[in-house]
Chain A
Amino acid sequence: MNLTLYVWRQKDAKDKGYMEKFDAKDISPDMSFLEMLDVVNEELESQGKDPIAFDSDCREGICGMCSLNINGVAHGPERATAACQLHMRHFKDGDTIYIEPWRARAFPVVKDLIVDRSAFDRIIEAGGYISVGTGGAPDANAIPISKDDAETAFDAAACIGCGACVAACKNASAMLFVAAKVSHLVNLPQGKVEAKRRVVNMVAQMDKEGFGNCTNYYECQAACPKEISVKFIAQMNREYLRSLRYKDK
């Protein structure tokens, strides 16, 4: 199949950037979206041109590195699918595809389609952990956890931190990401100990990074490759409400 691509090109963080047109020729429908870009890049390199820079790592939908806004949708048109797992069979011969980086003030573009997502790391540093004395591995079932709690925590823990929620949100809000991390920990007994400090500090850091505010559009859960539910945002709101009077000792 042959496609027309419009790709965001930007030399570095300071460059203004523009959309550049490419022809992707002889693309197999069995290729992944990133493999299609690899083919385009090989062609560009053979012509001595600068290849399109984009993030990728595992290419099996679990690492959260890929970050492409494809035809106006974060990770492209397939639900619950990261861009690396999106296959070209979902497009038609002759299609025009717009490829843009995640757009958010908190995610500045590094080059072309690559954005700096270290804002997420700093939010995790602000409270996305439990403080425990390390030592010998504890007994696996030393702390009993109900099946329901374990499942809920795991649903939240499925977040791979790709940032599609921010990219999809009209307000570039990071609420689904932060909610997933907060809920992942607060649904487990180990995470309950620091629950109040965690939500207060993570929300504070989220705001500091310059993400927008949540207005309950629910675009985030539609874009999430791991189908994290907005019910976790409700849970985080609840946790935040509980922590209004919390004082750090």
Chain B
Amino acid sequence: MQDVNAAPTTASMPARLLNRSIGKKLLMSLSGLVLLGYVVGHLIGNLQIFVGQNALNAYAVFLRSIGAWLWIIRAFLLGMLIIHVWFAVKLYFENRSARPIRYKRKVYQEATLSSRTMIWTGIGVFLFVVYHLLHFTFIVTNPQYSHLEDALGRHDVYSMVILGFQNYLISAVYLVSIAIVSYHLVHAAKSMFQTWGLNDTNFEKILRPATVIFAWLILLGYIAIPIAVLAGIVKLPEGVI
């Protein structure tokens, strides 16, 4: 048992962030904001597949051309992911232990399903990130179509994506995963404003529908790619098997 009678200590700033409930919330939302920003940026980059092979492959070359910066950005994102996952797991267990005896009957009145399943959708997102990196970044799961080159000798990302999504199973995994990511974002995007104290009763009325619309845009934007490939709208260029 903790000594609840001891006088509260006015901890230092890092301790106020790392050890106090509101501090941990702030770190969760800050790291979450960075990751959310990445989800948006990544989508904008990916949508260039609709412009064509040249645009997407040139974009891939551009990303590689920034050299050290690419690795700094990747390390930063990885750090944010680690912070986000670490505190998510820590908070989950803390919150569980705050109610050792469960209710026999429990009815939720206002808590959304999205908010109550954050840890589970979060695990889903994490597994998807791992698979996605193995698939397209580290090229472990489907190496057969991932070392193609286009007419200009560039890494043919365009054909790699199309060949990947032509597989129904892979497309299905992506569709489900993107749905989980979007569902995670419904609560995440709204929750962030509350945690940063940027919320009040009037703003809340706009915020709720706004975050749902935002999550739908993310969902539709990402799933458009495998659907377009399966529907034959985005086609392989000539000469690629």
Contact = CB atoms under 8 A, between A and B. Distances in A.
Mostly helix, strand, loop or mixed at chain A's interface? mixed
A28 interface: no
Contacts of A222: 109-110
A204 B22 contact: no
A211 interface: yes
Contacts of B24: 213
B20 A105 contact: no
Contacts of A38: none
Contacts of A216: 115, 187, 190-191, 194-195
Interface residues of A, number: 65
Contact of B99 (A171, A175, A229): A171
Contacts, number: 172
Interface string A71-96: 11100000000000000000000000
A203 B21 contact: yes
Contact of B10 (A200, A211, A234): A200
B25 interface: yes
A129 interface: no
Contacts of A171: 95, 98-99
A223 interface: yes
B4 A240 contact: no
Given A205-B8, A244-B13, A231 B199 contact: yes
A73 B109 contact: yes
B153 interface: no
B104 A237 contact: no
B105 A72 contact: yes
A98 interface: yes
Mostly helix, strand, loop or mixed at chain B's interface? loop
B62 interface: no
B152 interface: no
Contacts of A223: 109
B200 A218 contact: no
B19 interface: yes
Interface in B72-86: none
Given A207-B19, A235-B197, A219 B109 contact: yes
A173 B10 CA distance: 21
A72 B197 contact: no
B231 interface: no
A240 B98 contact: no
3 smallest CB-CB distances across A and B, nearest first, come from: A238-B197, A212-B98, A72-B107
Given A172-B95, A217-B112, 11 more contacts: A73-B107, A122-B5, A204-B11, A209-B2, A211-B21, A215-B95, A216-B191, A231-B200, A237-B195, A240-B22, A244-B17
Interface of A: 6, 17, 19, 69, 71-73, 98, 100, 103-106, 119, 122, 126-127, 168, 170-173, 175, 197, 200-219, 221-223, 229-231, 233-241, 243-248
